[in-house]
Amino acid sequence: MPRYKLTIEYDGTPFVGWQRQNNGPSVQAALEQALHRFCGETVMTYAAGRTDSGVHALGQVVHFDLTKDWPAETVRNALNYHLRPQPIAVLASEAVPAIFHARSSAKARRYVYRILNRHAPPTVTRNRVWHVHVPLDAGAMHEAAQALLGMHDFSTFRGSYCQAKSPVRTLDRLDAVRSGEEIRVEAQARSFLQHQVRNMVGSLRLVGEGKWTTADLAAALAARDRTKGGPTAPPDGLYLVEVLY
Q: Cβ of 184: how many Cβ atoms within 10 Å?
A: 17
Nearest-angstrom CA–CA distance, 238 and 186: 10
Max Cα-Cα span within the chain: 58
Quick check: 221 and 148 in contact, CB under 8 A? yes
Nearest-angstrom CA–CA distance, 35 and 119: 44
Q: Which amino acid is at 176?
A: A
Nearest-angstrom CA–CA distance, 238 and 129: 8
Q: Cβ of 227: how many Cβ atoms within 10 Å?
A: 7
Quick check: 27 and 21 in contact, CB under 8 A? no
Catalytic residue numbers read 52
